[in-house]
Chain A
Amino acid sequence: MKLALRALFLLVLCFGLTTLNAQHDTDDHGHASELTEQDSGAHGSEAAYDPVGTVMHHIADANEFHILGHYSIPLPVILYAPEHGFKFGLSSMFDHGHEAVDGYVLNHGRVNRVADPSFPSGHVHLSGEHPIHEDVVTVDGKKKDVAYLMHDGKKYMLDKPSTLDGGVLGGGITSFYDFSITKNVFTMLLATILLFIIFSIVARGYKKNEGKAPSGLQSFMEPIFVFIRDEVSRPMIGEKHYERFQPFVMALFFFILFCNLLGLIPFFPGSSNVTGNLGVTMALAVIVFIVTNLNGKKDYWEHIFWMPGVPVFVKPVLAVVEILGLFIKPFSLMIRLFANISAGHIIILSLIGLVFVFGENGTNVGGAATGAFVGGLFTAFMNLIELLVAFLQAFIFSMLAASYIGAAVEEHDHHDESHAVDHHHGGAHAEAVAHH
């Protein structure tokens, strides 16, 4: 009965949120398209709703929390430029891109920097309705997105924050680093605080109700906790070692789950695409990589460098494969979570975008209504799927992390061929489950 009520509550919540989501995005896109109009007015080209740009802007990280129209919640900025040191402040000091502070400006919600040393430092008011422009230029045969601002009739190029992709994905090290409490960091902080509150209540419940049946929040979290223990850590790591890694697996699962779930809330304080950002999943994957390999036993390394139970001439080949696998495993963790959550956000935003595509940028009210109806229904459906995905991806990430740890701490009593086959079969099974 209670469970049925909870399921009903979740369902109602989903639909409610979807409606709100639609409203929020309507306002937001109204604003966005207005911007585009004015922007393109400056460029002298046709005004149009840009669905891809809007979606990409929404899934991206930002230095302010956009609420409605022109209202945003300012977030703290911590910026570091190697030659100028740290700069602290609130994102409201940039006045939505109309104010430059020590060469930093806000470009579409993200802090950019004027690398040119001739640009005046301190607070500089940027004249004009939209002083920051974006353009596409071709550099070395590659199309590249560049942003610049006009000040005192001079054109200053803007640097985006440094990224660690080494230029492969269009980013790279620039003149500054952004360590701000961005939208994603804020949501992660919120998830962390929520986890602390919830689990301190639950842990207190176990102390208070010792020897008694669980109650309240404790009984709500217990099945999830027991499920992760019995279906993830115990079978994957093994009876002998699982207790040692239990906090790690639980932390992975609940941290990812809470970030995923907060990302599904379409308005403040949710909506950020936390686990759909490669930086976040990379950090988690690197931690898994470190934990796995720090706990690698002799058998684990032997299986990597000199696989027992196979002919000698195969051993070096397998060693190469296994060493590659060492990195591919956490890499797959990183990509899987990132791609799943990003894709979910993109699909939902695209469905909401139908309102503006069908509405032909505000000229066709009937089309907009059709788009709102169809998009709303599909979004409701997608939100339910995303709710499932939020749990599923957290489960898969922690399960695979646990299986890697399990392989690292496993001790083989004897090295026969059937055992090796068994071992690999188990790994393949976990992977197969993950791809469902």
Chain B
Amino acid sequence: MFNLFLVDFSVIKPDPGLLFWTTIFFLLVWIILGKVAFKPISKALTKRENDIQDSIDEAKLVQAQMAQLKEDNQRLLAEAREESTRIVAEAEAFAKKRRDDAVNEAKEAAQKVSENAQREIANMRDSAMADLKKEVGAMALDIAEKVIRKDLKSDATQKALVSELVNNLN
């Protein structure tokens, strides 16, 4: 029935020679190429895929780290800014206090100095007054002595002098 066309449809008849050679060649390809090519290629591909995946993962990790770092930096920067503002404010306050203190001290000192001066002036005035009084007294005594020595030669003049002196004292 397979000679239906009256020709030899030979491809459907398995030839032992072909069977033999096909087996040989296929086994050669399978065993040798499998060892020297298919397996190493497969391994290299798997390795490369893993490498790529690792690289992507690492890049993502680094990216996350970078984002974290940036955030940290920003926070630090904000903190630093705040700190600097605080420091400046503190310094200003301190400076102001110092200035006020200085001013106050100066004022106090000035006041003290002026008070001292006033007191001294007063003392000096008092002493001057006392000296003056003493001096004037002495002078008056001198004068009086002189006057007295001159005028007290008579009683009338003594009396006039006394009254005049008394008047002058008032």
Q: Do A and B bind each other?
A: yes
Of A53, A247, A277, which is within 8 A of B11 by CB?
A277
Residues of chain B with a CB closer than 8 A to A53's CB: 5, 7
**Is residue A325 within 8 Å, beta carbon to beta carbon, of the partner chain?**
no
| Nearest B residue to A277, CB-CB | B11
Contact pick for B25, options A60, A189, A200, A207, CB 8 Å: A189
Nearest neighbor of A184 in chain B, beta-carbon distance: B18
Complex Cα spacing A136 to B6, Å: 7
* Contact, CB under 8 Å: B14 / A247: no
A156 contacts chain B at the CB level, 8 A cutoff = no
Q: Is the CB of A283 within 8 A of B23?
A: yes
* A270 located at the interface, meaning its Cβ lies under 8 Å from any Cβ of chain B in the complex: no
Query: How far apart sit A225 and B38, CA to CA, in the bound complex (Å)?
Result: 9
Expressed in whole angstroms, the minimum distance between the Cβ of A114 and any Cβ of chain B is: 18
CB interface residues, B 1-51, toward A, < 8 Å: 1-3, 5-23, 25-30, 32-42, 44-45, 48, 51
B45 to chain A, nearest CB (A): 7
- The answer to whether A171 touches B18 (Cβ under 8 A) is no
Q: Are A163 and B15 in contact (CB under 8 A)?
A: yes
Q: Count of B residues near A, CB < 8 Å? A: 43
Contact of A248 among B8, B14, B30, B36 (CB under 8 A): B30
- The main secondary structure of chain B at its interface with chain A is helix
Distance in Å: Cβ of A58 to nearest Cβ of chain B: 10
- Given the interface pairs A52-B7, A165-B13, A170-B3, the reply to whether A279 lies near B38 with Cβ below 8 Å is no
A188 to B40, CA, bound (A): 24
User: Are A255 and B25 in contact, with the CB atoms below 8 A?
Assistant: yes
CA distance A401 to B37 in the complex (A): 21
Is the CB–CB distance between A280 and B22 below 8 Å? yes
State A50–B7 Cα separation when bound (angstroms).
10
B11/A61 in contact, CB under 8 A:
yes
Knowing A52-B5, A251-B33, A255-B29 touch, does A177 contact B17 (C-beta < 8 A)?
yes
A53 to B119 Cα, complex, angstroms: 153
Nearest-neighbour CB distance to chain A for B48, whole angstroms, equals 8
Chain A residues near B13 (CB, 8 Å)? 163-165, 169-171, 278-279
CB pair B10 A61 closer than 8 Å: yes
Shortest Cβ gap from B20 to chain A (Å): 6
Q: How far is the CA of A276 from the CA of B12 in the complex (A)?
A: 9
A338 at the A/B interface (Cβ < 8 Å)?
A: yes
B44 in contact with A178 (CB, 8 Å)? no
A-B contact pairs, 30 of them (CB 8 A): A60-B8, A60-B10, A144-B3, A161-B15, A162-B16, A170-B2, A170-B13, A178-B15, A179-B16, A181-B21, A196-B32, A200-B36, A203-B36, A206-B44, A206-B45, A211-B51, A222-B45, A225-B42, A225-B45, A229-B45, A243-B42, A246-B38, A246-B42, A250-B33, A251-B30, A279-B17, A279-B19, A287-B23, A287-B26, A338-B11
Further contacts, 19 of them, CB under 8 A, given A163-B15, A188-B22, A203-B36? A56-B10, A164-B14, A177-B16, A179-B21, A181-B21, A188-B21, A196-B33, A199-B33, A199-B37, A206-B44, A247-B33, A247-B38, A251-B30, A251-B33, A279-B14, A279-B19, A280-B18, A283-B22, A287-B26
- Name the 10 nearest CB pairs between A and B, nearest first: A247-B34, A279-B18, A283-B22, A163-B13, A199-B37, A171-B13, A206-B44, A251-B30, A247-B38, A279-B14
Using a CB–CB cutoff of 8 Å, the interface residues on chain B facing chain A are: 1-3, 5-23, 25-30, 32-42, 44-45, 48, 51
